[in-house]
A and B are shown apart, each in its own frame.
Chain A
Amino acid sequence: MIKQVMDDNEIRRALTRVAHEIIERSKGADNLVVIGIRSRGVPPAQRLAALIGEIEGVKVPFGTLDISFYRDDYSIRGAAPVGASDIPVDITDKHVILVDEVLYTGRTIRAALDALMDMGRPSVISLAVLIDRGHRELPIRADYVGKNLPTSRSESVKVSWKELGGEDAVTIVSE
C-alpha cells in the first residue's frame, strides 16, 4: 500500500520553515556551510542553501558529502558505488548544516560525522532532515526536522525530488 504524506507545497513550506529556524538559531547565515549527504540528501541541501541565501541576501556555500568509505555495513553488504565529495570551502571553524532526506537508524549520520571530521574541524555541526521516521539505533537526533513521521519498521519512506527526476513528494510504502 502506498500513502502520500507530503506533496510539493508541503515540502516547500517545511523546508522554508527549517531555513528560517536555522537562520534564527544561528543568528544569521555568515558562518554557515550547507552540506548534503550523497546522493539523496543533496536536493534538500541545495534548496536549503538557496532559501537561506535568499532570506538573508547572501550566498551560502553548499557542498556534497560521500560516505561510502565510512559505512559500517561494508563487510555485510559489500562495496557500494562511490561518489565524490565536493565541498568548495574549508569547513574548519564553520557552522556545518548537515542535510539528509530521511533520518532513520542514524547510521548514515554517524558515518557522515566521521567523514566531516576527517575534512576539518567545524565549530558546530547541526543536522537538518526533511523526515524523521524514528527507530534510531544510535544516540543521534536532528536539530531541524521538516516533518516527524511515526512509522513501523516494516514500512519504508520514499522521497522523490524534481532534481532526481521525479515529482516532489513523500510517500509511505507498506507491504
Chain B
Amino acid sequence: MRFTKKDILGLEYLTPEEITLIIETARTQKDLLSRPIKKVPILRGKSVCTLFYENSTRTRTSFELAAKMLSADTSSVSVSGSSINKGESFKDTLLTLESMGIDLFIIRHEASGSSHYASQIVKSHVVNAGDGLHAHPTQGLLDMLTIYENKGKFEGLNVCVVGDISHSRVARSNVWGLAKMGAHVRVCGPSTLIPPDFDKLPCEVYTDLDKALEGADAVNVLRIQKERMDRGFFPTIGEYVKLYGITSERLKGCKDDVIVLHPGPINRGVEIDADVAYNHSVILDQVTNGVAVRMAILYLLLGGGNAEII
C-alpha cells in the first residue's frame, strides 16, 4: 500500500491500514536499535527540525535519534535561546525555517490545533509531537506498538486509560488509535478530570477504578501533572493515590497477563506504585518503541506518496 499523507496530525485522521503500515514498519525497523552500527543511509540529505514550545526529554530526543539513525540532518529550535523570545510569531518562525530548507517539522506547542495550522503554512511535512490538549499521535502509536508486541492483536482487547484524562493528549490519541483497530477503550479518572465531550469519543467512561480495570488486557497510566493540579480537581494527592493509584493489589481484577504502560515521566507513588513501575511495567519498552515508531513515520512521510511494492 502507499502512504500518501503529507502530515501526521492526529490518529483520528489515519485509516486502520495506515496505522497498520506504520506499526509494521516500526516493528521491522526496531532491529536497527540492537545493531552495532545504528545508522542506515536512507534519509541522507533530508533536513528535519524539531520546533518545541514546551519542555520535553523523551519525545524530542527520541525524534532526533530516529532522524539521525536514518541519516537525516536534524536541527532543534526551542523557545529559550531563539527569536521566539524576541516575539517572532509561530508563522514567521515556520516560514523562516522552511526557507532554510527544512523538509519536515516536528512540532510541540501548547495550543491545540497548532500543528494543523502549521501544516497549512508550510509545504514541508508536519508531525505533531503534542499540541495542547488535542493529540500526541506518536505517543499513541508507540503505546499501540507496545500493546501489539505483547498481545499480538488489537481486536477485542480491553485497554484502560487511567488518570487525568482532561489534560491528556495521550488519552485522546490512545482512544482514537486503539478504537480504530478494534480494541475496547475505557477511560477512568475523577469526574473533575474527565471532560464532558468524552462521551462522543469511541470509549467508555468510568469513575470507579475497580470496575474499569475488570478484565483489562492493558492499563495505560497517565501522569498526574502537578503543574496543573493547583485548581482543586481533587482534594489531596493522598486521596487520588487511594482512589486511582495503580498498585499490584488493584491490578488483581485485570487479566493475568495484563501489561502496564505509562507515557512518562513517572510520579512514583502517585499515579503508579514504584513496585509496579519497576517490576511489572513495559515503560522502558515503550521508550524503545518510541524511537522505532518515529523512524517509521519519518521514513514513510519523507518517502512521500509514491511508494510502490517491489
Contacts and interface: CB of A to CB of B under 8 A. Distances in A.
Contacts of A82: 24-25, 28-29, 296, 299
Nearest to B35: A119
A149 interface: no
A59 B2 CA distance: 40
A80 interface: yes
17 contacts: A69-B32, A69-B70, A74-B42, A78-B2, A78-B303, A78-B307, A79-B3, A79-B307, A80-B307, A80-B309, A81-B1, A81-B21, A114-B41, A115-B40, A118-B37, A119-B37, A120-B36
Contact of A83 (B2, B28, B32): B28
Given A80-B310, A84-B31, A120-B36, 19 more contacts: A66-B28, A68-B42, A69-B41, A70-B40, A70-B42, A74-B42, A75-B45, A77-B308, A78-B306, A79-B300, A80-B308, A81-B24, A81-B25, A81-B309, A82-B25, A82-B29, A114-B41, A118-B37, A119-B37
Contacts of B40: 69-70, 115, 118
Interface in B27-61: 27-29, 31-32, 35-37, 39-42, 45
B293 to A, nearest CB: 13
For B27, B296, B299, the residue with the greatest tally of chain A CB atoms inside 10 Å of its CB is B299
A31 B205 CA distance: 61
Contacts of B195: none
Contacts of B37: 118-119
Contact of B305 (A68, A78, A83): A78
Interface of B: 1-3, 21, 24-25, 27-29, 31-32, 35-37, 39-42, 45, 70, 296, 299-300, 302-310
A171 interface: no
Contacts of A120: 36
User: What is the size category of the interface that chain A forms with chain B?
Assistant: 20 to 34
A132 to B, nearest CB: 20
Interface string A39-72: 0000000000000000000000000001011110
A160 interface: no
Nearest to B27: A84
A66 to B, nearest CB: 7
Nearest to A117: B37
A16 interface: no
For A74, A114, A119, the residue with the greatest tally of chain B CB atoms inside 10 Å of its CB is A74
A117 to B, nearest CB: 9
A85 interface: yes
Contacts of B42: 68-71, 74
B303 A79 contact: yes
A37 to B, nearest CB: 12
A118 B40 CA distance: 8
Given A69-B42, A119-B35, A74 B28 contact: no
A153 to B, nearest CB: 17
For A70, A78, A115, the residue with the greatest tally of chain B CB atoms inside 10 Å of its CB is A78
B35 A118 contact: yes
A88 to B, nearest CB: 13
Contacts of B309: 80-81
